[in-house]
Structure 1
Amino acid sequence: MKASISYHIHHLNLSNGLHLPDLLDMEQGQYLVFWWKSLALGHVFLEPNAHLTLAGLLQKVTAAIHPAVEVYANQGGFSHTPWHRWIELEESEKWLGFFEMVFAKVVPKEVPAQVPVSVVICTCNRAPQLKQCLERLLQLSCQPQEIIVVDNAPRDNASQEVVAQFAGITYVRDPRVGLDIARNTGAKRASLPVVAYVDDDVLVTPLWIYHVWDTFKDPKVAAMTGLVIASHLKSEAQCIFEKHWSFNRGYVDKVYDTQFFKVTLPKGPPVWEIGAGANMAFRKTVFEDVGYFDELLDAGAAGCNGDSEMWYRVLAKGHSIHYNPRAIVFHEHRENVQELKKQIFYYMRGHTVAALLQQEQEREAGYALYLTKLFFLWFPKAAVRGFPGYKFQHKTLWSEITGVAAGLAYYLKHKGKRVM
Structure 2
Amino acid sequence: MAFDSSLAICICTRHRADDLRKALQSIADSPRRPDQVIVSDDGQDGRTSEAVVAEFPFAFYQRGPRIGLGANRNACLAVVKTAFVCFIDDDVVLPPSFVPLAYQLCEANAQRSPQPLVSGIEFKHVTPGEAPIRIEPHNADFWGFQRVKPTSELKAMVINSGIFPMELFRKAQFDPLLRYGSEEIDMIRHAYSLGYRVEFKPELWVDHYPSPVNRDEYASVVDASRMYTTAKDYLKYQKNFGRFLFFSIFAPLKLALALTRRYGLKGLTASIHATTLALQYGARSNS
TM-score computed with the length of structure 1 as normaliser: 0.55
Task: Name the counterpart of 1:312.
Answer: 189
Task: Name the counterpart of 2:159.
Answer: 277
Q: Is residue 142 of structure 1 aligned with residue 32 of structure 2? A: yes
Candidates 264, 267, 282, aligned match of 1:415: 282
3-state SS in 1 of match to 2:232: helix
3-state SS in 2 of match to 1:189: coil
- Residues 151 and 159 of structure 1 are in contact (CA less than 8 Å); yes or no, is this contact kept in structure 2? yes
- Residues 122 and 206 of structure 2 are in contact (CA less than 8 Å); yes or no, is this contact kept in structure 1? yes
Give the drift of 1:187: 1.0
Give the drift of 1:324: 2.1
Amino acid in structure 1 at the alignment position of 2:232: L
- Residues 119 and 146 of structure 1 are in contact (CA less than 8 Å); yes or no, is this contact kept in structure 2? yes
TM-score computed with the length of structure 2 as normaliser: 0.78
Give the drift of 1:345: 3.3
Q: Is residue 363 of structure 1 aligned with residue 259 of structure 2? A: no
Distance 1:234 1:379 in 2: 34
3-state SS in 2 of match to 1:144: coil
Give the drift of 1:347: 1.5
Distance 1:211 1:355 in 2: 33
Q: Is residue 228 of structure 1 aligned with residue 122 of structure 2? A: yes
Task: Name the counterpart of 2:152.
Answer: none
Distance 1:212 1:117 in 2: 8
Distance 1:199 1:182 in 2: 12
Distance 1:213 1:411, change over 3 A: same
Give the drift of 1:214: 3.2
- Residues 26 and 94 of structure 2 are in contact (CA less than 8 Å); yes or no, is this contact kept in structure 1? yes
Distance 1:173 1:272 in 2: 35
Larger radius of gyration: 1
3-state SS in 1 of match to 2:207: strand
Amino acid in structure 2 at the alignment position of 1:306: E
**Structure of higher RCO (CA pairs closer than 8 Å, 6+ residues apart):** 2
Distance 1:323 1:383, change over 3 A: farther
Distance 1:149 1:168 in 2: 11
Give the drift of 1:197: 0.4
Give the drift of 1:397: 11
Task: Name the counterpart of 2:101.
Answer: 211
Once the two structures are superposed, residues 19-74 of structure 1 have per-residue CA deviations (whole angstroms, 9 ceiling, x without a partner) of xxxxxxxxxxxxxxxxxxxxxxxxxxxxxxxxxxxxxxxxxxxxxxxxxxxxxxxx
Q: Percent identity?
A: 17
3-state SS in 1 of match to 2:88: strand
- Residues 352 and 404 of structure 1 are in contact (CA less than 8 Å); yes or no, is this contact kept in structure 2? no
Task: Name the counterpart of 1:349.
Answer: 224
Distance 1:340 1:247, change over 3 A: farther
1:169-248 superposed matches below 5 A = 169-216=59-106, 217-218=108-109, 219=112, 220-234=114-128, 248=135
Give the drift of 1:201: 0.4
Task: Name the counterpart of 2:151.
Answer: none
Once the two structures are superposed, residues 353-396 of structure 1 have per-residue CA deviations (whole angstroms, 9 ceiling, x without a partner) of 11122223033273554565555458747876xxxxx6xxxx79
Give the drift of 1:190: 0.7
Amino acid in structure 2 at the alignment position of 1:117: L
**Count of residues in Structure 1 that have an aligned counterpart in Structure 2:** 269
Distance 1:381 1:181 in 2: 30
Amino acid in structure 2 at the alignment position of 1:182: N
- Residues 65 and 75 of structure 2 are in contact (CA less than 8 Å); yes or no, is this contact kept in structure 1? no
Give the drift of 1:342: 4.9
1:101-120 superposed matches below 5 A = 116-120=6-10
Amino acid in structure 1 at the alignment position of 2:22: Q
3-state SS in 2 of match to 1:349: helix
Give the drift of 1:269: 7.7
3-state SS in 2 of match to 1:327: strand
Candidates 129, 151, 159, aligned match of 2:19: 129
Give the drift of 1:317: 1.2
Candidates 165, 176, 185, aligned match of 1:295: 176
Give the drift of 1:208: 1.3
Distance 1:315 1:350, change over 3 A: same
Amino acid in structure 1 at the alignment position of 2:119: T
